[in-house]
Amino acid sequence: MNKLEQLRQRSQVVADTGDIEAIRRYRPQDATTNPSLLYKAAQLPQYQTLISESLAWAGRYQGHGTPTETARLAAIKLAVGIGAEILQLVPGVVSTEVDARLSFDTRATVDYARHLIALYEREGVERERVLIKIASTWEGIAAAEILEREGIHCNLTLLFSLCQAIACAEAGATLISPFVGRILDWHLAKGERKEFRGDEDPGVLSVRNIYHYYKSRDYDTIVMGASFRNPGEIEALAGCDRLTISPQLLQSLEESEGMLIGGLPLITEPLPRPTHRMEEAAFRFQLNSDAMATEKLAEGIRNFVKDQQRLEMLLQSQVIGRQEANAATNS
């Protein structure tokens, strides 16, 4: 077996892409999307019909709204449309992200998530097949706790530290996405070393620590390693509940015929859970004490916002183009 086939025997493989053709090729259990992936997908020829349908729907829903308002609404509809198409190809779930501009607003995050689920249900997709992706801020985790009680399952993303992971588990989040590659990026940028391999990779060590904390204390929250930079990171985390992997790295694993060596150790020592839940002050202090986690969380939110805005600008240009074409026809 190639390494991808071996990996499937130890972890659920999730495709980190919005590209339908890549999903069709690699047959993952689940798929994840984010604003960056949706922006790339929106430029592919196969999605132009879906974009047109999303713009038409937003125009009808918005009425006489501005091009900016119509584009923002169309972006939400497009995310659901792409997610619904993905669900025709995967047997599991798809993750769809809340607008990162709401990362510090619990109520707005809850409302946005409910809107996404309502749109999915209108497409005939049951809420059990959707994970709402939310940044692992204190406010985002609080929103996830509210949503989970309503049967809306959440994927807490942009997670870089144990304190974030603990708060997510205590909130009853369905799944977390601890990042690997972005942690490695930070340590390399600091010039600590020129390279890290396998078990020395700081991103791998972070996920291992979180995985051990959860499993030794019998938390139900699923650990899904994310944001990989090379196949070695993936191999070192074989055995993690789920791993979300880009098409490029899926291809690399598929083309590798050697033995997949390493992975997460078995958890044999049960440990007690904390007697008290983490409070906001402790969460903020611990996160602030971790320079890497603080910087990468902020950077991740900024980058997701930037790509969300780029997607909306792309859609807005089409709205304006259609308005100008209609005006020319009517004149």
Helical spans, DSSP H, in the chain: 3-8, 20-26, 35-41, 48-62, 67-87, 106-122, 138-149, 162-170, 181-189, 202-216, 231-236, 247-254, 280-289, 291-330
According to DSSP, the residues that pair with 130 across neighbouring strands are 94
Task: Please count the other Cβ atoms lying within 10 Å of the Cβ belonging to residue 214.
Answer: 21
Assess if residue 230 is contained within a domain.
Answer: yes
Assess if residue 94 is contained within a domain.
Answer: no
DSSP 243: E
What is the C-alpha separation between 103 and 286, in angstroms, rounded? 19
Over its C-alpha atoms, the chain yields an Rg (Å, rounded) of 20
Q: Catalytic residue numbers?
A: 133
Q: How confident is the model at residue 331 (pLDDT cuts 50, 70, 90)?
A: low
What is the mean pLDDT of the segment spanning 93-109? Answer: 98
What is the C-alpha separation between 181 and 16, in angstroms, rounded? 13
What is the mean pLDDT of the segment spanning 86-103? Answer: 97
How far, in Å, are 61, 73, 142, 320 from residue 325 at the CA level? Answer: 21, 21, 46, 9
- Beta-carbon contacts of 323 under 8 Å, excluding residues fewer than 6 positions away, are 67
Assess if residue 190 is contained within a domain.
Answer: yes
Assess if residue 109 is contained within a domain.
Answer: yes
Strongest mean pLDDT among 49-58, 119-128, 192-201, 258-267: 119-128
Q: Are 176 and 159 in contact (CB under 8 A)?
A: yes
pLDDT of residue 60: 87
pLDDT of residue 303: 96
Higher per-residue confidence, 267 vs 328: 267
pLDDT at 64 over 80: no
Assess if residue 73 is contained within a domain.
Answer: no
Find the CATH number of the domain harbouring 272.
3.20.20.70
What is the C-alpha separation between 308 and 207, in angstroms, rounded? 27
Residue 70 has which token pair?
């119509």
Assess if residue 296 is contained within a domain.
Answer: yes
pLDDT of residue 175: 98
Assess if residue 15 is contained within a domain.
Answer: yes
Range of the domain at 162: 3-23+100-300
CA neighbours closer than 13 Å in the CB half-sphere of residue 72: 13
Q: How confident is the model at residue 63 (pLDDT cuts 50, 70, 90)?
A: low
12: part of which helix (H) or strand (E)?
Answer: strand 12-16
Number of domains in the chain: 1
> pLDDT tens digits for 151-186?
999 999 999 999 999 999 999 999 999 999 999 999
Measured between its terminal Cα atoms, the distance across the chain in Å is 65
pLDDT of residue 191: 86
DSSP 222: E
DSSP 127: G
Assess if residue 245 is contained within a domain.
Answer: yes
DSSP for 144-203, written as a single string: HHHHHHTT--EEEEEE-SHHHHHHHHHTT-SEEEEBSHHHHHHHHHTTS-S---GGG-HH
* Angle between helices 162-170 and 280-289 in degrees, nearest 10: 160
* Angle between helices 181-189 and 202-216 in degrees, nearest 10: 140
CA neighbours closer than 13 Å in the CB half-sphere of residue 6: 19
pLDDT at 69 over 70: yes
Q: Is the pTM of this model over 0.85?
A: yes
Residue type (1 letter), 323: Q
